[in-house]
Structure 1
Amino acid sequence: MKLKRLKINVPYKSLQAGFEITFRPNLQSNTIDPLCFVGPNGSGKSNLLEAIADIFYYLECHLFEYTTVSNFQVPIESFEIEYYKPFMAAGGIMQVFNDNPIISGQHYHIKIIKNQRQQPNYFLINDLEEIEITGESRSYALPKRIWGYSSGENESLSLPFRRMDLFYLEQAAINIKKNVGEIIGDNRLHFVDYDTTSALVLSNFLIYGNPNETDQDKINKLKIFKDKFGIESIESFRITIRFQYRNKFKMPIDKAVQNFIKTLKDHFDVSTERRTDEISINIDLRSVENFEVFGRMAADAGGLYKYFEKLMLRNSYTIPWERRQKVLYNKNVYSAQNDIGHVPNDEQLFILDNIMLKMDGVESPIPYESISDGEHQALTIFSLVNLIDEIDVLCLFDEPETHLNPKWKYEYISNINDIQKQKDSHILMTTHDPIFISGLNKEQVILFQKRVNLPEEVPRWSFAEEDLKGKGVDAILKTDLFGFQNTVDQGTSKLIYERRELLLKIDNLNDEEKNRLKELTNILRNIDYADPFVDPFFKEFYRRLNNKELYIKRELSEDEKKLRKENADNLFEELSNDLDL
C-alpha cells in the first residue's frame, strides 16, 4: 500500500484539529522508496506515525467488533485516510467488493471516513464513482500488515500495537471457554522491540541459511547480514515453552502452533525442567537436516516468524489483569503507555535464548547478546524488511538510526532498497540526521515545523524544496530542512561573524580594528576558512555589498534568506561582467 492523504478532524496530541497531509507516492517506482519526516523536536513527526497506527488499530478493532465493548476508547473520533492498495489474485480467485470484480495486479484507491459518534465508511474510488465497501470486504481494503518500531523508550507508538495484542488475548480467553474455532488468529498489527528481534533474526537464518541452499534469491537474503555484520551463520539456540502460568492456569495455544511444537519435539533434543509444564528445546544448526525441518514448516521467513510471534504473544498473559485493563481502557494515553511494562524472563511463557553466532574471522561462536546497540538496531530493521516478501505492507519506524555509526546511516536507505524489492509497500520514518536522508528525492522528505510562533498561513509541513541527491551533509544542513547558517563549531562561527563585520566596513577601519582583522584572518586561515578572501574577486564582493545587515545577522527569516541570495546573485553577475569573467 502507498499512503495518499490523511486528515484528522479533532485534536490529536500536538496535531491540531483539521491537520491534513498529502503524500506523493510513486506507484511506478521499482524500489520501496521510504518516506522520511524531519523537523525540530516537538514538531509532530512522531505524533503523525502514532496517529496512523491508532487509525488502523481502531479500524481493526471495529472489524472484530472490539469497539462494541462499553469502555472502548476511540483514539481518534473523526478522520479521513486515503491510500493506494494493490489487489492480487489469491489462489486463482479474484477478490470481489460488493460483487464488483477487482482486477489482479492493479492499484486501487481506498478512502475511509469516520465522523464523530459514527461508524467508519469505506470506499473504493475510480474515475467515475465511489463504491462503498461493506461487510467482510472491508477487511480486504485494509493493509495486509502494519509494522511498528521505535528506537527510544517512549511507548507512544507501541501503544496501539500492544492494545491490539491484548484484545486478541481477551478473544482467545473467550474462545477457549466456548471451545470454538482457532484460539488466536493472525494479527494485522505487529510491533518490533528488543524481545522480538531475536525471532526476526532466527527466522531469516533458519529459512535462508541452509548450507545446501541452491536458490540464489534465498542465498541473497542473507547477504547483508554477512557483508555488514559479519554473521556467517547461527550455530545453535534454545526455545523454552511454559504451558502453564505459575502452575495455575493453562495458557491456550492454537492448533498450528501445537503442530509446530510437536515437530520441534520430534526432531530436536528436548529437556524437561523442574516444572512439568516447561520444556526446553536445544537446536543445533551445524546439521543440514535441522535446517530442513524448519524449511518444511514454512516457505519463507515471514511464515516461520508467525509461529514465533504467536508464542511470544502468550507472554502478555502474565501481565496482571488489572494492568491489562489500564492499558486497554485508560482514557489518559500517556498513563496507559506507562502501564505496558516489560515481562521479566522468569515470568515469560516463551523464551528464545542461548543464540550463538558464527562470525567471519572469529574461531569460536559468540553469544547474540554480545553485539552492540548499533548492530542490534540495524539487525532489527534489516531482518524485518527482509521479511516483507508479501505486498501491501505499511511500516512505521520512529528514529530507526539513532545508534548507528555515520557510515551505516549513510548506507541505510540504500540497504533497505537493496534488501526489499517489493515496491507495493510503504515505509514511513522519522529522523533528525542529515546523513540518513542524503541521496533522497524531495518527494521522499517532509519537513515539519513547530506551531509555536508560526503565523496561521504558514503550513505545518512541507516537502523538501530540492532533491538531496548530490549534496553533502554540510549542504543538507543548510537547506530548509535544518536551517543552518553555517556548519562550523560555535566558537569558530563567532570569529567568522566578527571578521565579517570588519570586512563589511573595511574602508573605514581604525588601527585597532585593522589589527583585529589581521589577527582574525590568520586564525581562520590556519583552519582553511579565510583562504577565499585572498582572492581579489571576493574582496571586491565585500566592498560592493549593499544591505550589509543581512550578512551580520546570525539568524535569518525565510524572506531574508531569499533576499540575501538574490542580492548575492545580482552582485556576482555584476562583478563577473565588470571583471570580464
Structure 2
Amino acid sequence: MKLLRLRIENKEGFRSLQQGFEINFHSLADTEAMEHFRPFCFAGLNGSGKSNVLEALANIFYHLEVCVARYLPQSIQNPDNFKRAECTPDAFTLEYLIGQHNRKCYALYYFDKVTIIKKEGKEPQMFIQSFPFDESVERREVSLVPSKNKESAAEGKTYLPAHIIGYSSGENEILSLPFIKSRLIHLDEYLQAIRDNYNDYDEAENSLIYIDSNMSQAVLLTCLLFEKDDALAPLRSVDNTGILGLRSFRVNIHLHDFEYEDNKGKLQKKEIMELLEQRQLDFLKKCSTSWFLDYKTNTLSLDFYVDEATKEAFRSHFSNALECFHLFRLLYELNNYFIDEKTKADVYRSKGVYTDGKLPTPSPSQDVFHFLDFYITKELKKTGKKKDLLLRSFSDGEHQFIHTMGICLLLKDRRTLLLLDEPETHFNPSWRAKFVKVLNDSIEAGNKGNDFNVHLLKDVLLTSHSPFIISDCLPDNVILFEKEENGKTSAKKVSELDNAFNTYGTSVELILDKLFDYNQSIGDLSFSEIEKINIDEITTPEEIAKAKATLTKFGESIEKDMVLSQLNRKLKDNPNVKNL
C-alpha cells in the first residue's frame, strides 16, 4: 500500500493537529517513486506533532477494522465500548493506493485508490477508483458493514492493509492504545469461541500488531526457524547484530481454565487451550526435541534444540513463518485472560492516553505462556568467536534492530503499513547511520524468489531526531513538523520549504542547522566554555598564550579551530612577538 493524503477535519482537531491539518505523502504525479524504497521520515522538535500523525492513523485503521469485522466478540459489540459513528479523530479524509492478492501481479496498473471519508458523528464511508485514479474512472462506494448472517466480513476489508505494525522505542502509550484494544478484541474473540463451541475460529481478523519485547521474541524465533540464509543476511552481519542462528529455547504453557457465566448466570469453567490442543499444540509437540506435562502445576513444557531437522519439522507443520507467528501471538495474548470485564471496558472506551499505562501483568501462577532459555548463537564483533547467549542479555539497541529487521522479513509479501516512533533511540551513531539501509536490505532480502516489487506492498513512516536517518531520505520524503506563531501545526516536505535543500546524502551538520536550528558541532557545555574566551579583550602575547592553553583541554572541532584561527591572527598582527 502507499499512503497519499491524511486530513483532519473535526472541529476539535486531534491532539496537537488542528482542524484542517493535512499531510501529503506519495504523489500520483510521481508513481515511479512508489516502486522504490522511500520511507517517510517525520522530523521536528519535541512536541511538534510527529507522533500524533502515527497515532491518528493507528486509531483510524483500528476503527475501520472493527467496522468491517465478520466475527466480533460481544464485549466490543456493546455500544458503550464501540460506536461505528464515533472515531478518534472523529472527522477525516484518508487516501491511499492498495493492491489485491487476486490480481495478476503487484503493479500500480492493478491497484485501487481508496478514499475513506468520515464526518463528525457519522459512520465512515469508503470509495475506490481503479487506475489511473482520476475523473476518467468512476468512483465506487464500498460497504463497511459485514453481512447480516456474519458469513463474511464487509467488502471494505479487502481494501484495508493486511497488517498495521506499531513500534515505539519508549513507553509511548498514546501510540500503543489502539493496538492494546486490538489485542483485547483478539483475546475476547478466542474466549468467546471457546464458550460458544465455535470451531471455525482462525487467526484474528484485526490487522493491528504492536511489537513490544514479548512479541519481538516471537518475530525473531519464527524468522530464524523459517527464513533461508540469504534472507537472514542483514540480521547476521557482524556489523549489525551478528546473530547466526537459534540454538535452543523452551516453551512453557500453563493449561489454565478460565471462568465465565453462561446464559443462566451460572459460573462455568473451560480449558483455555481447548481450541488449540487438537492442532497447534500437537504441532508444537511434534516439532519439539522433548516435552513433558507437570501434573502438579498443569504445565506443558516443550524443549527445542534447533538444528536443520527442527526447522524442517516446523516448515512441514506450519505453512509459513507468519502462521507460526500468529500462534505465538495468540498465546501471548492469552496471558491477559484474567483481566476483568470492567478493565477491558475502560480500555475499549478510552479516547485518549490510557493513563494506567499497561494492562495488569499476570503473576507467574496466572501466566499462560512464555519462552524460557532462549539461546541465540552470535558472532562477537571484537573477537570473531561464536557464542551462545540468552536473548535477554542483548542490549536495548540490539533488540531494536531485531524488532525492525524481523518484522520486515516476516511480512515480506503482505500489504503492510509500518508506524515506527523513534525506532533508533538506543542505537549508537554507527547503527543510526545504517538504519535506513538495513530497513531496505531486510525488505528486499525477504523478497528473494518473488516476481513482484515488494516495495509496492509496504509503506514505512518513522519519526526521528537523527540527522543520520534524515540524510538517507529524499527531500520529498522528509516532512518537517513545526509549531507556527498561531499555535497551529504545519507539516511540509523539505522539498517544499522556503529554504528547500536536498536532504539525501547531506552532512549531519547541515541537517541540524536547517531542520533543528542547531548550528554547533559540539555540546552546549563545552561550547559555553569556548565562548568565554573573549577574543576582543585579548591584547597581549601572554593572554594569547593563556587562551591557547585553555583550548588544549578541548577535542578537535570547528568551534575550537575558529578560536585558534583568531588567536593566531592576533599573534601574527602583534609586532612585539616573534614566537610563542
Amino acid of the residue matched to residue 438 of structure 1? S
Shift of 1:164: 1.3
Shift of 1:18: 2.2
User: Where does residue 91 of structure 2 map in the other structure?
Assistant: 78
Q: Secondary structure at the match of 2:117?
A: strand
SS at match of 1:265: helix
Residue in 2 aligned with 1:460? 490
> What is aligned with 1:471?
506
Contact 1:257 1:307 in 2 (8 A): no
Distance 1:254 1:316 in 2: 16
CA distance in 1, matches of 2:245, 2:117: 48
User: Does structure 1 residue 207 correspond to structure 2 residue 223?
Assistant: no
C-alpha deviation, 1:163, in angstroms: 0.4
Shift, 1:280, TM fit: 0.6
- Given that 2:223 and 2:406 are in contact with CA atoms closer than 8 Å, whether structure 1 keeps it comes out as yes
Deviates more, 1:27-36 or 1:74-83: 27-36
Q: Which digits, 9 at most, give the CA deviation of each residue in 1:331-369, with x for residues without a partner?
A: 5x2245525243344422121221111222446522111
**Partner in structure 2 of residue 443 of structure 1:** 476
Is the aligned partner of 1:290 residue 2:310?
yes
C-alpha distance after superposition, 1:513-566 (max 9, x if no partner): 999789768866983224666999xx9xxxxxxxxxxxxxxxxxxxxxxxxxxx
CA distance in 2, matches of 1:461, 1:517: 48
Tell me the distance in 2 between the aligned counterparts of 1:407 and 1:358.
Answer: 23
Classify 1:254/1:54 alpha carbon distance in 2 versus 1 (closer, same or farther; 3 Å).
Answer: farther
Segments of 5+ residues of structure 1 without an aligned counterpart are: 95-101, 209-217, 503-509, 540-581
- How far off is 1:88 after superposition? 3.5
- The answer on 1:405 being equivalent to 2:405 is no
- Segments of structure 2 that go 5 or more residues without pairing to the other structure are 145-153, 260-267, 445-453, 495-499, 555-559, 573-580
User: Matches of 1:124 and 1:387 in 2, distance apart?
Assistant: 29
Contact persistence 2:39–2:461 (CA under 8 A): yes
Q: Does 1:490 align with 2:513?
A: no
Q: Does 1:431 align with 2:464?
A: yes
- In 2, the alpha carbon distance for the partners of 1:431 and 1:402 equals 8
Task: Give the structure 1 partner of residue 302 of structure 2.
Answer: 281
Compute the TM-score of the two structures, normalised by the length of structure 2. 0.79
2-structure distance, mates of 1:369, 1:345: 18
- Percent identity between the aligned chains? 27
Amino acid corresponding to residue 177 of structure 2 in structure 1: L
- Distance in 2 between the 1:513 and 1:495 partners? 21
When residues 488 and 180 of structure 1 are mapped into structure 2, their CA distance, relative to the original with a 3 A threshold, is: closer
- Corresponding residue to 2:398 among 363, 375, 380: 375
Alignment partners' CA distance in 2, 1:500 and 1:380? 50
User: Shift in Å at residue 262 of structure 1?
Assistant: 0.6
Structure 1 residue 241 displacement after superposition: 1.6
1:180: how far off? Answer: 2.9
Q: Which moved more, 1:521-530 or 1:46-55?
A: 521-530
- Measure, in 2, the Cα distance between the counterparts of 1:270 and 1:380: 29
Alpha-carbon separation, structure 1, partners of 2:551 and 2:297: 75
- Alignment correspondent of 2:440: 417
Asked if structure 2 preserves the Cα contact closer than 8 Å seen for 1:3 and 1:84, the reply is: yes
Q: Is the CA contact 1:169–1:184 (under 8 Å) kept in the aligned structure 2?
A: no
Cα offsets for 1:98-134 (capped at 9, x unmatched): xxxx999623211000111211110013323321112
AA aligned opposite 1:224: P
Going from structure 1 to structure 2, the CA distance change for 1:348 and 1:31 (only over 3 Å counts) comes to farther
In structure 2, relative to structure 1, the CA distance for the partners of 1:362 and 1:168 (3 Å cut) is same
C-alpha deviation, 1:57, in angstroms: 0.4
Does the aligned pair in 2 maintain the 1:236–1:354 contact within 8 Å? yes
What's 2:6 paired with? 6
Matched, 1:190 2:190: no
Pick closer, same or farther for the CA change 1:345–1:18 going to 2, 3 Å. farther
Distance across 1 between alignment mates of 2:492 and 2:2: 18
| CA-CA distance at 1:276 after TM superposition | 6.2
Query: Structure 1 residues 64, 252: closer, same or farther in 2, change over 3 A?
Result: farther
Report the CA distance between 1:172 and its aligned residue: 3.0
Match of 2:100 in 1: 87
Which structure 2 residues correspond to residues 327-366 of structure 1 after superposition, within 5 A? Answer: 327-331=347-351, 333-335=352-354, 338=357, 340-360=359-379, 361-362=384-385, 364-366=387-389
Match of 1:305 in 2: 325
Distance in 2, Cα, partners of 1:238 & 1:390: 29
SS in structure 1 at match of 2:302: strand
Report deviation, 1:43. 1.0
Partner of 1:563: none
Q: How does 1:237-248 map to 2 (within 5 A)?
A: 237-245=249-257
CA distance in 2, matches of 1:147, 1:511: 59
Report Cα offsets for 1:186-205 as digits up to 9, x if no partner. Answer: 33110110111111111011
How far did 1:411 drift?
Answer: 0.3
Whether 2:349 is the aligned partner of 1:325: answer: no
Q: Which amino acid aligns with 1:472?
A: S
Q: Hey, what does 2:449 align to over in structure 1? A: none
1:197–1:303 Cα change, 3 Å: same
Question: Using the alignment, how far apart are the partners of 1:103 and 1:466 within structure 2?
Answer: 31
Structure 1 residue 79 displacement after superposition: 1.2
* 8 Å contact kept, 1:183–1:254: no
- Out of 138, 162, 165, which is 2:180 matched to? 162
- Matched residue pairs, number? 507
C-alpha deviation, 1:400, in angstroms: 0.7
Partner of 1:71: helix, strand, or coil? coil
Contact 1:7/1:81 (<8 A) preserved: yes
- Partner of 2:25 in structure 1? 23
Change (3 A) 1:71 1:459: closer
Larger CA deviation: 242-251 vs 409-418: 242-251
Q: Which amino acid aligns with 2:478?
A: V
Kindly state the Cα deviation for residue 245 of structure 1 after the two structures are TM-superposed. Answer: 4.3
The DSSP-based 3-state class of the residue aligned with 1:327 is helix
Aligned pairs for 1:96-175 within 5 A: 106-125=110-129, 126-128=133-135, 129-134=138-143, 136-175=154-193
2:459 partner amino acid = H
Q: 2:233 aligns with which of 218, 223, 248?
A: 223
Letter in 1 for 2:46: N
Contact 2:479–2:491, Cα closer than 8 Å, also in 1: yes
- Deviation per CA, 1:379-417, whole angstroms, max 9, x where unpaired? 111111111212421010111111111101100000111
RMSD over aligned Cα, in angstroms?
Answer: 3.2
Could you tell me how far apart the structure 2 residues matched to 1:514 and 1:535 are? 10
Counterpart code for 1:15: L
Query: Quick one: distance in 2 between partners of 1:352 and 1:455?
Result: 52
Which of 244, 252, 256 is 1:232 aligned to? 244
- 1:273-294 deviation per Cα after TM superposition (whole angstroms, max 9, x unaligned): 24464201101113x2211011
Secondary structure of 1:478's counterpart equals helix
1:38 aligns with: 43
Alignment partners' CA distance in 1, 2:286 and 2:297: 18
Q: Kindly state the Cα deviation for residue 232 of structure 1 after the two structures are TM-superposed.
A: 1.7
Note the C-alpha offset of 1:32: 3.0
Letter in 2 for 1:48: V
Deviation at residue 499 of structure 1 after TM alignment = 7.7
With over 3 angstroms needed to count, the CA separation of the structure-2 counterparts of 1:89 and 1:298, relative to structure 1, is same
| Counterpart residue identity of residue 113, structure 1 | I
